[in-house]
Amino acid sequence: MSGGGGLAAAPVLVAPDDFKGTFTAREVASALVRGLRGGGLDADELPVADGGDGTLDALVQARGGELRKAVVADALGRPVEAAWALLADGRTAVVEAAQASGLW
């Protein structure tokens, strides 16, 4: 935004992590961007993660691909359903180790 010779507002990059137990990083980013755009600002979203919950979602959004689920053996050999992602290149798979080992 600029007015009367003022400076144009710089675009805003919203890059949140999840709000543990409440909102995913994608949900937080979308809500913040909607608010910023509603106020007339140019905003883009890029959800991030710290390697734990939400990492697969953030990678799929950033690199493309799809989320999948598989039944694997946890650290004690029990069957557990765990999420994983196949990225858009069709060659890169990402496993959420906490789920696969039964820690979540």
- Angle, alpha carbons 53-24-31 (nearest 5°): 155
pLDDT (tens digit, 9 = 90+) per residue, 45-84?
A: 988 888 777 889 888 988 899 999 999 998 899 999 999 9
CA distance 30 to 26: 6
Kindly state the tokens that stand for 68: 């999948």
Q: Is the pLDDT of residue 90 over 60?
A: yes
pLDDT tens-digit series, residues 14-28:
999 988 889 988 899
pLDDT digits (tens, 9 = 90+) for 2-16: 555 566 678 999 999
Domain ranges of the chain: 11-48, 51-104
The predicted structure's pLDDT at residue 77:
92
